[in-house]
Amino acid sequence: MTNTRETFPEGSTLRALFDAAPRPGVIRWIGLRTAHRAPMLVVESARAEEGRGLVGDRWNGRPSGARQVSLIAAEHLAAIGGYLGQEATPERLRRNIVVSGINLLALKGTRFRLGEALLEWGGECHPCSRIEQEFGPGGYNAARGHGGIIARVIESGEIRLGDALTRA
């Protein structure tokens, strides 16, 4: 069973720990997937559109609203690379946003500010079978548990390198 804030009774120490705001993160990298299997377009800023995702990204406006934006922690890129003995870049994992200084799982079930935009947790971003093609044997298992999260855009806004990620 996975623990969530609802697992623990109101007023309990563990409920308070789940409810405590994590330390803010910082946006370190932004990329757009312009088309299926196309190279990532690395940008310094992106516009998040309410209910649609990032302008210029292939997932923008797709009906499956949970995956409008994908995020991964820089610390997890280092972990995946360490497991594989090779560099794990955001382009290779095809995530939109790389942040540092925050455990993205601490955002589970919450809304958070990413620059000017307001996003909502959509779930974990599990690796797909293409990870094995990209990294070779062991790629899939190296990324398990380290793939980041997906989110929906609740309020539109600009997202820029160096902006903060804070829980709303």
CB within 8 A of 15, min separation 6: which ones? 5, 8, 9
pLDDT above 80: residue 14: no
Residue 117, classed as helix, strand or coil, is strand
- How confident is the model over 44-53, as a mean pLDDT? 96
- 109 in the Ramachandran plot: left (φ > 0), alpha (ψ -120 to 50) or beta? left
Greater model confidence, 9 or 94: 94
Query: What are the sequence ranges of the domains in the chain?
Result: 24-167
The CA distances from residue 148 to 9, 63, 122, 163, in Å, are 28, 21, 11, 18
In percent, the amount of the chain with pLDDT more than 90 equals 70
- For domain 24-167, the CATH class is mainly beta
In percent, the amount of the chain with pLDDT more than 70 equals 92
- pLDDT 10s digits, 117-138: 999 999 999 988 788 989 999 9
Distance between CA 168 and CA 163 in Å, rounded? Answer: 15
Q: Does the predicted TM-score (pTM) go above 0.85?
A: yes
- Phi/psi for 104 (5° steps) reads -60, -25
Write the DSSP string, 50-64.
Answer: TTTEETTSTTTT-S-
For the chain, the average pLDDT equals 90
